[in-house]
């Protein structure tokens, strides 16, 4: 769980600002990977009580004043985890709210720090480190990283740098990433973003009304823990809607009870047995196509004496292979025996053993379906307003050992668009490894604005417990580079706060640019190409933050030249030229930092200096640092005419463009 601070739902996910400091591209990308709760709220104001709400469901802290440790002696998530054989740690460098939660069975140090408190740098960055994480980790960045003091863009960059590799790992290790905020910026509504990503979370939006109490209750339920404090309130429910239970399912036996690892140490005899079925992680099993049945990265295995069962490191041996039989039993082929709950006693904690297969009731199991992967992709076409483009969906039975029967594909276009199938959408059989394609005629409305529009595909098949989903986008291009301008990079010296070329609010000076002959509408020549400097007054959008937008363009020559610079450069971005004959050509451009990193770097060999100014603007007054506009060129095919350019997209930082032209 990662707690951010003091930003509302609309601030992060729905803001219309074009300023770089207000952008959160990575966090927005998590919305398409996981579940975004559109009706999520902080419990109260100010900040600190929300930490206690999330970690203890307690309202005993009312203000932002740090409480005396003895005043917050209440049950909490760390205590519940550690007293039931699980583990917890919090990672932070300042304001560790968890250090004030008194863990009832783990004494703190004299300065009230608990052994579970760690520094932010201790959070791992590799799969080997992720494997060693505690059951639940709670992470809080510093003021800039958490968005409390820093910008949205700073927080977004920190989330990406700190957690992207963990999120990738979590998707294949039955783990969950939770990103939430303590409160919004002190409005009465207090609506906040909450996003969860993991293999069990269906991608999309969920409108269940939740707050920190609901999140905590759901985590407690994941591990079969007691509902504490406000999580036991009648109006606080578990979050149930977004979970894809086809990914992890219970292994249900007789009397409606489920196979559970109910001991802290899986090696303890009798650790695997029947228990009341509940939404606990230790009752969730994944059946893989290789015949293994797994939980938390370990495999259900026959013990060496072939009499009992255990959870063991997955090693590919026959002892870890299980075959469902037609009579409902689960055979371990190496022993020739079946998973059994012996005798008439079906009380909770009845151990699971291996016995000779006899098809009796105590060998009947509802076995999870294969954790097979079926991929559904949607290609990403360009479509101009009022025109139709061909879209192809591809559905692949990637890893299932079984054929899919009666598969059906559906494509949903945005409001005002149409999507009509031009080839079959139904398939009688999709064999293992086979792909099936459907083509669609997708039409954009005549008034479609430039940008990317989501296309959502869904596939179902016979006896499916959930649908397979895929997303793509139809891109409506901009009519010109100037129509794509989305950043105010130039300000008047008398009104410097109107510009924000970087996330700190610095901008080019209109007066300093004019002194270098870069006034609105001026003709600029660079590297043999002729440009018109943005013909707009200071304080309005005058450049594009280049992130891969498609722009209509007509030109011919041997070079395509750009005017621009980078923030946090030097930066490299990749783009694509599309010629009028339909062929494409990829290219790569590099721009130096607009101040050469405060004078610490030299002009790049691939850049030419178009203008050099002695200062730049900021709200508090001019900053005396050399500030540049550069040009750079990429080769293109002189025998062809350019019809479209996909602007270069850097992997990090901000690449700004003022102009684009061809030259011989």
For residue 74, say if its preceding peptide bond is cis, omega within 30 degrees of 0.
no
Say how many C-beta atoms besides its own lie within 10 A of residue 216's C-beta: 26
The confidence score (pLDDT) of residue 40 equals: 97
The confidence score (pLDDT) of residue 463 equals: 72
The last residue of a domain, from among 305, 331, 363: 363
Residue 135, in any domain of the structure: yes
Q: What is the mean pLDDT of the chain?
A: 87
Determine which of 109-113, 131-135, 469-473, 593-597 has the lowest per-residue pLDDT on average.
Answer: 109-113
Indicate the pLDDT class of residue 279, thresholds 50, 70 and 90: low
Over the Cα atoms of the chain, what is R_g?
29
CATH number for the domain spanning 455: value is 2.60.40.10
Task: Identify how many contiguous H helices and E strands the chain contains and give both numbers.
Answer: 9, 39
Q: What angle do CA 34, 10, 455 make, to 5 degrees?
A: 45
Count of structural domains within the chain: 4
Q: Is 418 left (phi over 0), alpha (psi -120 to 50) or beta?
A: beta
pLDDT at residue 505 above 90? no
For residues 486 and 599, membership in a common domain is answered with yes
For residues 125 and 88, membership in a common domain is answered with yes
Distances, alpha carbon 648 to alpha carbons 488, 528, 537, in Å = 19, 21, 26
The confidence score (pLDDT) of residue 370 equals: 57
Cα-to-chain-centroid distance, residue 409 = 25
Pair 11, 152: CB distance under 8 Å: yes
The confidence score (pLDDT) of residue 544 equals: 95
Pairing mode of beta strands 88-91, 117-118: parallel
DSSP letter for each residue of 491-505: E-GGGGGG--SSTTS
Residues 6+ away with beta carbon under 8 Å from 503:
20, 21, 151, 153, 154, 567, 654
CATH number for the domain spanning 268: value is 2.80.10.50
pLDDT at residue 23 above 60? yes
pLDDT at residue 573 above 80? yes
Residue 305 tokens read as 């004496």
Residue 473 tokens read as 């986008």
Residue 247, in any domain of the structure: no
The confidence score (pLDDT) of residue 328 equals: 80
For residue 641, which of 562, 575, 558 has the smallest C-alpha distance? Answer: 558
For residues 382 and 517, membership in a common domain is answered with no
The confidence score (pLDDT) of residue 109 equals: 46
pLDDT digit string, tens, across residues 512-565: 999 999 999 999 999 999 999 999 999 999 999 998 899 999 999 999 999 999
pLDDT digit string, tens, across residues 297-333: 788 999 888 888 888 888 888 899 888 887 788 999 8
Indicate the pLDDT class of residue 94, thresholds 50, 70 and 90: low
For residues 514 and 472, membership in a common domain is answered with no
The confidence score (pLDDT) of residue 17 equals: 84
For residue 550, which of 631, 407, 649, 618 has the smallest C-alpha distance? Answer: 649
**What's the average model confidence in pLDDT over 614-631?**
96
For residues 161 and 66, membership in a common domain is answered with yes
For residues 612 and 647, membership in a common domain is answered with yes
- Spatial distance between the Cα atoms of 289 and 317, rounded to a whole number of angstroms: 14
Residue 337, in any domain of the structure: yes
Residue 456, in any domain of the structure: yes
Q: Which domain holds residue 494?
A: 482-663
Q: What angle do CA 404, 378, 457 make, to 5 degrees?
A: 60
Helix (H), strand (E) at residue 312: strand 309-313
- Spatial distance between the Cα atoms of 465 and 119, rounded to a whole number of angstroms: 42
Residues 6+ away with beta carbon under 8 Å from 374:
395, 396, 397, 398, 400, 404, 459, 468
For residues 495 and 610, membership in a common domain is answered with yes
For residues 226 and 268, membership in a common domain is answered with no
The confidence score (pLDDT) of residue 545 equals: 92
Residue 507, in any domain of the structure: yes
For residues 492 and 553, membership in a common domain is answered with yes
Residue 248, in any domain of the structure: no
Residue 549 tokens read as 């937008």
pLDDT at residue 642 above 90? yes
Q: How far apart are the first and last CA of the chain?
A: 55
**What's the average model confidence in pLDDT over 135-151?**
90
For residues 159 and 198, membership in a common domain is answered with yes
* Half-sphere exposure (Cβ direction) of 28: Cα atoms closer than 13 Å: 12
Distances, alpha carbon 576 to alpha carbons 384, 585, 588, 613, in Å = 18, 6, 9, 31
pTM: 0.56
Residues 6+ away with beta carbon under 8 Å from 51:
3, 61, 97, 98, 182
pLDDT at residue 344 above 60? no
Pair 204, 26: CB distance under 8 Å: no
Residue 555, in any domain of the structure: yes
Residue 403, in any domain of the structure: yes
């Amino acid at each position: 769980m990662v707690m951010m601070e003091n930003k509302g739902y609309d601030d992060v996910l729905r803001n219309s600002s074009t300023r770089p400091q207000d952008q959160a591209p990575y966090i927005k990308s998590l919305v398409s990977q996981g579940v975004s709760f559109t009706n999520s709220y902080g419990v109260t104001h100010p900040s600190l009580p929300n930490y206690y709400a999330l970690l203890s469901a307690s309202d005993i802290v009312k203000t932002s004043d740090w409480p005396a440790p003895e005043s917050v002696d209440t049950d909490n998530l760390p205590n519940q985890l550690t007293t039931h054989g699980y583990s917890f740690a919090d990672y932070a460098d300042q304001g560790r709210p968890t250090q004030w939660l008194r863990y009832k069975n783990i004494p703190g140090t004299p300065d009230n720090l608990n052994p579970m408190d760690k520094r932010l740098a201790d959070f791992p960055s590799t799969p080997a480190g992720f494997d060693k994480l505690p059951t639940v980790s709670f992470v809080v960045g510093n003021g800039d990283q958490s968005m409390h003091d820093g910008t949205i863009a700073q927080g977004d960059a920190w989330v990406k740098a700190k957690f992207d590799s963990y999120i990738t790992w979590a998707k294949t290790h039955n783990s969950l990433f939770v990103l939430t905020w303590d409160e919004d910026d002190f409005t009465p509504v207090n609506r906040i973003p909450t996003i969860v990503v993991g293999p069990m979370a269906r991608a999309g939006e969920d409108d269940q009304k939740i707050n920190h109490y609901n999140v905590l209750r759901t985590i407690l339920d994941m591990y079969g823990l007691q509902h504490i404090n406000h999580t036991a309130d009648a109006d606080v429910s578990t979050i149930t809607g977004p979970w894809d239970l086809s990914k992890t399912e219970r292994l249900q036996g007789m009397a409606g009870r489920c196979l559970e690892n109910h001991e802290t140490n899986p090696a303890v005899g009798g650790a695997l047995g029947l228990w009341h079925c509940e939404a606990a992680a230790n009752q969730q099993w994944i059946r893989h196509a290789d015949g293994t049945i797994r939980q938390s990265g370990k495999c259900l295995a026959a013990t060496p004496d072939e009499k009992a069962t255990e959870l063991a490191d997955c090693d590919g041996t026959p002892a870890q292979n299980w075959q469902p039989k037609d009579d409902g039993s689960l055979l371990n082929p190496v022993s020739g025996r079946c998973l059994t709950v012996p005798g008439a006693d079906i009380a909770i904690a009845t151990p699971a053993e291996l016995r000779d297969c006899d098809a009796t009731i105590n060998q009947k199991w509802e076995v999870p379906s294969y954790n097979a992967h079926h991929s559904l992709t949607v290609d990403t076409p360009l479509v101009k307003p009022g025109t139709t483009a061909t879209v192809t969906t591809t559905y692949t039975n990637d890893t299932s050992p079984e054929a899919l029967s009666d598969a059906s594909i559906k494509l949903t276009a945005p409001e005002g668009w149409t999507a009509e199938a031009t080839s079959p959408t139904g398939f009688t059989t999709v064999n293992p490894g086979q792909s099936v394609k459907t083509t669609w005629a997708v039409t954009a409305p005549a008034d479609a604005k430039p940008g990317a529009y989501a296309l959502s595909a869904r596939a179902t098949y016979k006896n499916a417990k959930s649908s397979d989903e895929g997303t793509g986008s139809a891109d409506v291009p901009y009519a010109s580079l100037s129509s794509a301008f989305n950043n105010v990079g130039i300000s008047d010296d008398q009104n410097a706060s109107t510009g924000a070329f970087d996330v700190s609010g610095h901008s080019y000076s209109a007066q300093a640019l004019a002194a270098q002959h870069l006034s609105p509408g001026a003709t600029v020549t660079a590297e043999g190409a002729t440009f018109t400097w943005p013909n707009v007054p200071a304080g309005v959008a005058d450049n594009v933050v280049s992130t891969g937008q498609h722009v209509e363009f007509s030109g011919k020559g041997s070079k395509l030249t750009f005017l621009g610079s980078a923030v946090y450069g030097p930066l490299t971005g990749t783009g694509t030229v599309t010629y009028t004959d339909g062929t494409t050509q990829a290219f790569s451009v590099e721009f130096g930092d607009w101040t050469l990193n405060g004078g610490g770097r030299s002009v790049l060999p691939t850049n030419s200096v178009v203008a050099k100014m002695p200062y730049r603007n900021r709200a508090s007054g001019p900053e005396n640092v050399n500030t540049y506009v550069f040009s750079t060129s990429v080769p293109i095919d002189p025998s062809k005419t350019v019809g479209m350019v996909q602007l270069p997209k850097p992997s990090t930082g901000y690449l700004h463009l003022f102009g684009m032209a061809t030259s011989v």
